[in-house]
Structure 1
Amino acid sequence: MVAMSTTREQRLASTFVSLADTLVADFDVLDFLALLAERAVELLDVSAAGVILSDQRGGWRPAAGSSERAELIGVFDSQTTHGPSMDCVRTGVTVASTNLVADAARWPRFVETAVSAGFRAVCSVPMRLRDEVIGALTLLNTQSVPIDAPSVELGQALADIATIGILQQRAAHRDAVIYEQLQVTLHHRTVIEQAKGVLAELGGLQMHEAYTVLRGYARAHGLRMSDVARDVAKGVRDPHELLSSPTNIT
């Protein structure tokens, strides 16, 4: 038990260092959120994780996940109107289910999509800015087991880090500035989807593989992923250059 605790503490320390290294001037919010989701999976021993954000127009959209697999993206897309994440952002408290099949009547569309993708349990924690919730970090398990209290608390801590990262220490600014930044972040996510499509079609790749190529190229060249995606989507940057470049994502 001591060894497991020590290992987890080491992984947690490494996570905070990685996230802190990412929080530089003009950092890539979407790359940061993807890193956060990936580390949440590792630290909390869950099967998958993802972040949804408010579009500040009354809607909610997926921003990042621990994987770009089509079925996982579908799970997060399915709960942009109803689901545990929606209940979480509306109430501002953690929402969980250890048996999605039994909760089918509660979230019919989400449960159908999540169960089809192999998931059996879910836990969503809010991303808060003062008293306002701007999004949620959702954790998924393939087994019908609860996420223990310490892990939920750690998940909440990671969600809080995500909120700070998104706002880039602009909490003191006017809400209009905050809302504008969230809008830009979600627009960048749309552009990344377009670039993934270009790379996937040209390279005969799965969407997750295309995302890995895009992200790896951006990191290897010290560029923001959203900027590279924009260039690829607009035809300014040759996608063959990305496909032939080695990717080193850590």
Structure 2
Amino acid sequence: MTRASLVSGAFVELADALVGEYDVLDLLRTLVDQCVVLLDAEAAGILLADDNGNMQVVASTNEESRIVEVLQRQAGAGPCVDAYRSGKVVTLSDIPADGGLYPAFQAAALSQGFRSVHAIPMRFRPNTIGALNLFRTETGVLSEEDATIGQALADVATISLLHERSARENAAVNE
């Protein structure tokens, strides 16, 4: 299959969640899995904010990325947390050299073999609900194409999550 076919398939799979019943955790697991297949990343993870703004690890592709996400959440600082708070992409292309801004994240990421990270806010209009982390074992930045595809996948997943939340709230009001 061509990359274009794989990207199209990923969008169809994520958009399919907008129709009928679906499991939010399955959707997020699909997102991180597709990111690793499609993009120049060895692992991915998602932190979502709950109703009180507290970050929760909701999906990761492997134990190494999960460990980094949990430690970042506990420290309350890191590229994913900043991507959520600012609504802007945060990239550390060289964690050993540039990660000193987030010492706990830097130590956790390096201990798990990650050398760079690209954190993408999960946002739709004014709503930022979390962030998607793309971890790489090499230093450097994602290509512009990979960064664009990653943001688009995060955006579609965000719309799906906001749609699910709205439907759940409407059902509660109707009851």
Same fold (TM over 0.5): yes
User: Is the 1:35–1:66 contact (alpha carbons within 8 Å) kept by the matching residues of 2?
Assistant: no
Distance 2:6 2:148 in 1: 16
Distance 1:51 1:10 in 2: 25
1:113 corresponds to: 108
Report SS of the residue matched to 1:105.
helix
The letter of the residue matching 1:106 is: L
Q: Please give the root-mean-square deviation of Cα atoms over the aligned residues, in Å.
A: 2.1
User: Is the 1:97–1:121 contact (alpha carbons within 8 Å) kept by the matching residues of 2?
Assistant: yes
- Size of the aligned set, in residue pairs, is 169
Q: 1:77 aligns with which of 64, 70, 89?
A: 70
Report SS of the residue matched to 1:79.
helix
1:122 corresponds to: 117
Distance 2:83 2:147 in 1: 13
1:177 and 1:129, CA in 2 relative to 1: closer, same or farther beyond 3 A?
A: farther
Distance 1:148 1:91 in 2: 22
Residue 169 of structure 1 and its aligned partner are, at CA, apart by: 5.9
2:14 corresponds to: 19
Distance 1:77 1:155 in 2: 21
The letter of the residue matching 1:95 is: V
Higher mean displacement: 56-65 or 109-118: 56-65
Q: How does 1:56-95 map to 2 (within 5 A)?
A: 56-67=51-62, 69=63, 71-80=64-73, 81-95=76-90
1:209 corresponds to: none
TM-score, normalised relative to structure 2? 0.88
1:44 corresponds to: 39
TM-score, normalised relative to structure 1? 0.63
Structure 2 unaligned residues grouped into runs of 5+: none
User: Is the 2:93–2:115 contact (alpha carbons within 8 Å) kept by the matching residues of 1?
Assistant: yes
Based on CA coordinates, which of the two structures has the bigger radius of gyration? 1
Residue 170 of structure 1 and its aligned partner are, at CA, apart by: 5.8
Structure ranking higher in strand proportion: 2
Residue 23 of structure 1 and its aligned partner are, at CA, apart by: 3.8
Distance 1:90 1:45 in 2: 25
Residue 99 of structure 1 and its aligned partner are, at CA, apart by: 0.5
